[in-house]
Structure 1
Amino acid sequence: MSSRIDTLAAALTLEEKGALLAGADLWHSVAIPRLGIGRLRVSDGPNGARGTAFRGGPTSACFPCGAALGATWNPALVERVAGALAEEALAKGARILLAPTINLQRTPLGGRTFECYAEDPLLTARLAVAFVGGLQARGVGACVKHFACNDVEWERHRASAEPDERTLREVYLAPFEAAVREARAWTVMSAYNRLHGTHCTEHARLLTDVLRGEWGFAGAVISDWLAVQSTAPSIAAGNDLEMPGPPRHYGAKLVDAVKRGELSEAAVDACVRRVLALLERTGVLDGGEPDAERAIDRPEHRALAREAAADAIVLLRNERAALPLAGVRRIAVVGPNADRAVTQGGGSARVAPHYAIAPLDGIRARAARAGVEVVFARGPSAHRGVPALDAAHLAPVPDALPIEVDLFASAEPGDAPVRTERMREAEAFWLQTPDGLAPKQPWSARLRARLVPPESGAHRFALASAGKSRLRVDGRAVLDNWDDRQPGTSFFGLGSAEVAAEVELRAGVAVEIEVDFAQDRPHLPGGLRLGWLPPEPADAMERAVEAARGADAAVVVVGLDPDWETEGRDRESFSLPKRQDELVAKVAAANPRTIVVVNAGSPVAMDWIDASAAALQLWYPGQESGNALADVLFGDVDPGGRLPLTIPVRIEDTPAFLDVPGDDLRIRYSEGLFAGHRWYDARAIAPRFAFGHGLSYARFEHGPLRAAQARVAAGDDVVCEIDVANASARAGKEVVQLYVARTTPGVRRPLRTLAAFEKVALAAGERRTLRLTVPARAFSYWDVAANAWRAEPGTWEIAAGRSSRELSSPLRIEVTAR
């Protein structure tokens, strides 16, 4: 650290130190004007830089979610995406992006599985290093999260993760170790959960002994929002910054703890120096305010988002060359996710995109260029709750967003708002009291908009709120969620159950929508969602099937959405919700060339797979969703994705099935080292689709795998080469994966582990020699007794392949003791 930091630290009063170690608000650190210290702005999140507003702020570029980036198996592309996200963060005045999420995908039902890269520690680590490097090269710090073992949402503030020590080191800490040691991440986010009974925010062994002592981390530890549960234990453990502010446990409580002798000022000073170093590194130590937030829709970001989304699409199945679409004159597009752009999952990762292309729109645009007719029938809806009313069906307001929100410093809305905001959709989440209103005092809001019904009939309205709410339509009371609210799961478990009613409306006849909201518990976050659905035909299923029957090919877009898959709540079922499985089965029976597109951030049951001609995993692909999908469907782009996780036949087959959710506030890790694909190998369970699987429109041939040496000393890497040829008449992408297995007796370990990979794009007829390095860590294990990595001499087998279950060209390596 610089001498300037020592000078500033010495000049701070104890009260200023306490203030500096906590946020000023949701997104800023505290400025110390007396010493010219400015404030730092941070921003969510992994697939876009949202800025300081959950709703209604400047729009942002929306890139593919973490699982989609994991499916690219393309570190160079992930690095470019991170560079673009750095530009987005700077456009929002932020110098720290709260990303990447590098927990592992332990279960398909995890609410934030879509945010994570992979179920495998090596794949996650390589992409994490690429992301952190790409972000920080542009002057924006990464905040790798959530440290550690925040793998599910069940009781995330109270539950204790209980992996054994070797599993913790070899599996769950490995991506964080790589992000810190190799990429030099500027910040790390401490997680909500406990680890072995101790909150991660006050876990000295995790934050000090391992992170700083062993890995040499020189940055700052920032708590997850509202994760800090103590004062002295958290500071002593090395949790530097409590977020958000105003502080609950630092600030004045920190000052009191020092004065009472519960906390040494030396421990406080260590945290202060690290925060000052972060402010210096991010360029805000010299004062000034963060730049104003802007929405900059860059053409190069559009192109990169489209490229990344297509590179993530996994072609799971392709029978009888159903894809790419050729020789067709009419395509039927059906499914509940076909005509809406489901671009991202729910929770803190969400941004307001500059725009979003639905699958139907992308397919229509591409089909029009080819002279192909597209017919559409949605089929039955699949909403978890009634979706939020958005700008698409609201009367436009010149030069403004269509929803007006008046905020009042009173227990109920009145005639004199303190301030007015505008939103593009009728959903708001106020983690803190809105600006301009007194903190922790009663406040209220009123939302107004004009709905233009697209069709006549019974329209469904719904309210869910963290606070009181009621709805009027054209002045008539429709919903009352004011005094008799029932508990629900909305707004991270703080909100009410949804209440709903139907209102008869006429097509094209605008109606006035007015919602009153009051936060009667002002010490808690507030939330409001007004849902709306137009009438659904009673024969929606039959219309979809008939559209498919009359077409040359049918594209069925099914999946989940931010209500089904979200932070704060794990999924309850492995199946597609509502009648989607039935829709796929009936469409496939009506049209033999049925292509199923799964628009979800995690695996779903696919009992219908054998009836489909082709199937693709679209993930949550960001703003270019429909265009990227059309690129792949029509063969303009090769499907570049490979599965970063295993798709099981049944949820009962998965490694964590018996452990998640936990019991007695403990989450066990009984699969141990056998996480992800390793579990299926160890138990000889056939997956639906194996880890690493993904088809190409091209055909590739692999030569034999070669190693530079047949014998290496313990602690040395192994360099391998393999020839890959495109034996087809079109360009394509291949991912060569190397797996390592021990063939002689030794410590207990998985049957095989992913050790290296490389993605290559080859023109028709092109051949290339790839060089892959298997790191020495692949031949090692964590020795718990010695608290160190140990190389394991003996005979090892390295095999190359296209997935964890499609391997060939094995070679043997002898690892000798030094």
Structure 2
Amino acid sequence: MNHKIEHWMKELTLEEKASLCAGLNMWMTKGIDRLNIPAIHMYDGTNGIRKTSSDEEMGITSENIPATCYPTGSAIGSSWNIELLHEIGVALGIEGKEMGVELLLGPGINMKRTPLGGRNFEYYSEDPCLSGELGAAFVNGLQSQGVGASVKHFACNNQEYEKMVTSSEVDERTLREIYLSAFERIVKKANPWTMMCSYNLLNGSYASENEHLLDDILRKEWGYEGVVLSDWTAVNDRIRGLKAGLDLEMPGPAHYNAAAIVEEVQKGTLSEEQLDKSVRRILTLVEQVTDHEVESPETALDYHELARRAAAESIVLLKNDNGILPLDPAKVKSVAVIGTFAKKPRIQGAGSAEVTPTSVDIPWEEMQKIAGEAVQFHYAEGCPKDDRIDDTMIEESAALAAKSELAILFVGQPEYAESEMHDLNGIDLPEHQVKLIEAVAAVQPKCIVVTSSGTALAMRPWIQHVPAVLHAWLTGQGSGRAVAEILFGLTNPSGKLSETFPVKLSDNPSHMRIRGENGKLYYREGLFVGYRYYDRKELAPQFPFGHGLSYTSFAYSDMRVTQHDHSVTVSLQVENTGAIAGKEVVQLYVQDEECKWTRPEKELKAFIKIELEPHEKKEVVFELEERDFAYYNTKYNRWIAETGYFKLVAGSSSRDIRLTERVFCDFGKEEASFHKFSLLNDWVEDPTAKSVLEKCLHEMNEHVTDKVHLNEEFIGFWGDFPTIKVLQMFGQNWLIHRTPDQVIDELIAEVERVRQAAAGTNTAAAQSQE
């Protein structure tokens, strides 16, 4: 028991308790001066701290206090580096303390259902395992410094279009396996001090007042005890939200809702005990961020250097025909650099995540610093700032490329395309950029394209005409230096795509249902999001999930699988077979061969990023738990791992599979539960139930002409019928004094009696052995 919090609870008036359940202003919680309860400061922070000049202003369209701008979520997700995410979390915690920040609104964990999502640049991945592991590392790092995290947006915020009035309609299994799994992993591995609800409705109920989401799942099932706060203005029915577990309304002061809370308590329609739960959680948060003692680092952190390193780990080399990269300054005399982003790089998306950087590395400048005076760089803007096609600019760029030894084009999604509050219209480059690439590639075969975007890009047809593509994402203030170092070989690229790049937008599984209609958005692709869809459809993407090239090569060998009572250990050897040091991301996928329910072909369950010197070999070890083999069974409303054969698949990407082992896992027999319309197949697959049913049928056969025997032929025809229908079909002359419903109820009761008797016998036997 925290005596300070309990003292506060006793002294607070009802009106003060209600007032604590909303912010003081745009960025602060409310304090109570007479009780020395302090207010705390919170600011946006998915890829850096967006602290406004005043706590009364939103600060979306104005310059804010400068802070380190790290790679956006989609970029840092492609680092696949858990240690790096922890390090960035620590750095943001330290920088946050220096700036007076006590709660940082991040990380963004939502899955990338469609590449058109306006906030995709804030989110890590299309895969919950990758997002969950990276998010947990970030939260643990941040909170180790006494700055709270706010994991968002809970849940199913996958579009910006009419998001405040649209219901994400998601079946329970898809919800659990795809859209909640990363949040669950973070709650259990990192215990974030706050969670932020999303704007949208989920299956007809606003996330801010969704009892199933906030209470049944988050609180009761996952055991979460932290603060749930609203996204800004996401509150609709404050009383319903409070009952569901929404503690803190932002922004404040929301006097009208405080008055409503007081009134409902006084009327008895809202219990003060329910209000106290939220107030106690808010006071616990205040204690966590104000009484958390952290030792200052011995040496000052170089935030900009960390931003550079993070960018370098996130950038993905997509294509490198004939090893055109890295460039050797000793062998190149003239380079044409084309495109506005070479001098004015895109480093982040727009909206509430936009950081005012402390400084920005410029690719044009950094390349010249690295190459030195021996290399002559020539620049052409390539395209106008708007979307006009300027043939003169394109011709000038092509002419410059033709007289140079090679050309580097900097292209990407324009600034306006990727922002909170609207979705993208497409994932192709603007037409004038496509024409520019094709014109330059036609006259200069040594054409390297550097792309910038916060989401997947479609690259046909131009990618067929260029030998190298480097995807720079939106990699923060250090991206200019990172790009230059990769181009000239000072850094070996090690990023891997955290989302699938389709050949064209219509290949995406959500394409037919990208936006909601009449207030509802149906997730009818179900489990098949990202690589899960492309695997099942046997459809080749432009670049698969997990793809990323290196300037060296890696060999996988000696995969071993060891089974334990409740876990499986997988080990393998990875060797750097090239001439330079490099980092490899080893990805472990699990495939269920025998599940009765539909499952993806394979699913990512573990990964690690390792660094190897030339010809160095390291052992990689993964520990898989029963949950890693399970699916969410809506028949029993729980996670179930079925006994049977599984394939454990290790690869360098979801499509670059290096090693596979087949293993039989015995998770025990799941005892089925029966009801009135349970199928005959369900009864015969359970040994106890089958035995009980056979006794019943034996009795029935004595009174009927058309007898029933549970042989292969009978089950093959009638197996998908509810057992009660079999009784109705063949037992009419037997069912004189009992109804089919009564017989089924008796059978279900008998199955339960036999099971309990068997359980008692087993328990007695075990005790006698002890």
TM-score, length-scaled by structure 2: 0.83
Cα distance in 2 between the residues matched to 1:16 and 1:695: 58
Matches within 5 A, 1:290-439: 300-326=302-328, 327-368=331-372, 371-383=374-386
1:382 and 1:579 in contact (8 A); partners too: no
Answer yes or no: is the 8 Å Cα contact 1:19–1:30 preserved in 2: yes
Is residue 91–residue 301 contact of structure 2 (8 Å, CA) maintained in 1? no
Q: Distance in 1 between matches of 2:456 and 2:667?
A: 43
**Distance in 2 separating the partners of 1:265 and 1:277:** 18
| Rounded Cα–Cα distance in structure 2 between residues aligned with 1:285 and 1:179 | 21
Structure 1 segment 293-692 matched on structure 2, within 5 A: 300-326=302-328, 327-368=331-372, 371-383=374-386, 539-607=392-460, 608-692=462-546
1:762-777 → structure 2 map (5 Å cutoff): 762-777=612-627
1:201 aligns with 208
- Aligned pair 1:171/2:178, yes or no? yes
Q: Which has the higher contact order (CA 8 A, sep 6+)?
A: 1
Partners of 2:268 and 2:301 lie apart in 1 by 57
Report the secondary structure of 1:811's partner residue.
strand
> Aligned residues, how many?
653
Q: What percent of counterpart residues are identical? A: 41
Over alpha carbons, which structure has the higher Rg?
A: 2
What's the counterpart of residue 220 of structure 2? 213
Describe the shift of the 1:248–1:602 C-alpha distance in structure 2 as closer, same or farther (beyond 3 A).
Answer: farther
Counterparts of 1:785-804 in structure 2 under 5 Å? 785-804=635-654
Corresponding position of 1:255? 262
The equivalent residue for 1:45 is 45
* Alpha-carbon offset, residue 561 of structure 1: 4.1
User: Unaligned stretches of 5+ in structure 1?
Assistant: 287-296, 386-535
Give SS of 2:558's match. coil
Q: Is the 8 A contact 1:380 1:540 kept in 2?
A: yes
Partners of 1:216 and 1:375 in 2: CA distance = 60
User: Aligned in 2, Cα 1:694/1:253: closer, same or farther, shift over 3 Å?
Assistant: same
Deviations 1:451-510 (A, max 9, x none): xxxxxxxxxxxxxxxxxxxxxxxxxxxxxxxxxxxxxxxxxxxxxxxxxxxxxxxxxxxx
The residue type paired with residue 319 of structure 2 is R
Aligned to 2:762: none
Deviation at 1:578, TM superposition (A): 4.3
CA contact (8 A) 1:163 1:669 kept: yes
Q: Is the 8 A contact 2:142 2:148 kept in 1?
A: yes
Q: Give the alignment of 1:269-284 within 5 angstroms.
A: 269-283=276-290
Of 100, 110, 121 in structure 1, the residue corresponding to residue 128 of structure 2 is: 121
Q: 1:117, 1:644 within 8 Å by CA — same for their partners in 2?
A: yes
Q: What is the CA distance between 1:681 and its match in structure 2?
A: 0.5
* Structure 2 residue ranges without an equivalent (≥5): 54-58, 294-298, 669-770
- Report the CA distance between 1:538 and its aligned residue: 7.0
Q: Which residue of 2 aligns with 1:184?
A: 191
- Deviation, 1:373, is 1.2
Corresponding position: 1:233 with 2:235? no
Residue in 1 that maps onto 2:723: none
Residue 102 of structure 1: which of 109, 127, 130 is its match? 109
Q: Is the 8 A contact 2:384 2:390 kept in 1?
A: no
Amino acid at match of 2:13: T
User: 1:721 offset after TM fit, Å?
Assistant: 1.0
> 1:518 is matched with which residue?
none
The structure with more helix, counted as a fraction of residues = 2
8 Å CA contact 1:276–1:285 kept in 2: the answer is: no
CA contact (8 A) 1:21 1:250 kept: no
User: Do the aligned partners of 1:170 and 1:673 also contact (CA within 8 Å) in 2?
Assistant: yes
* Deviation per residue, 1:692-711 (Å, 9 max, x gap): 000000011111321123xx
- Equivalent pair of 2:594/2:645 in contact (CA under 8 Å): yes
Q: Provide the secondary structure at the position in 1 that maps to 2:513.
A: coil
> Could you tell me which amino acid in structure 2 is paired with residue 363 of structure 1?
M
Instruction: Mark the CA change 1:383 to 1:82 in structure 2 (over 3 Å): closer, same or farther.
Output: farther
Match of 1:10 in 2: 10
Name 1:758's counterpart in structure 2. 608
Select which of 712, 716, 735 maps to 2:585.
Answer: 735
CA distance in 1, matches of 2:46, 2:279: 27
Q: Distance in 2 between matches of 1:96 and 1:750?
A: 38
For the residues of structure 1 that align with 2:619 and 2:542, how far apart are their CA atoms? 31
TM-score (norm: length of structure 1): 0.78
Give how far 1:248 is off.
Answer: 6.5
Cα offset, 1:746, TM superposition = 2.5
Contact 2:319 2:470 in 1 (8 A): yes
How far the C-alpha of 1:786 sits from its partner, in A, is 2.1
Code of the residue aligned with 1:555 in structure 2: it is I
Structure 2 vs 1, CA of residues 384 and 773 (structure 1 numbering), >3 Å: closer, same or farther? farther
Give, in whole Å, the separation in 2 of the partners of 1:681 and 1:338. 36
The 1:188/1:249 distance shift into structure 2, 3 A limit, reads: farther
Say which SS state the counterpart of residue 229 (structure 2) adopts: strand
In 1, Cα distance between equivalents of 2:567 and 2:235: 41
Q: CA deviation at 1:285?
A: 11
Shift of 1:6: 2.1
CA contact (8 A) 1:557 1:596 kept: yes
* CA distance in structure 2 between the partners assigned to 1:733 and 1:776 by the alignment: 30
Kept in 2, the 8 Å contact 1:382–1:580? The answer is no
Q: What amino acid is the match of 2:600?
A: P
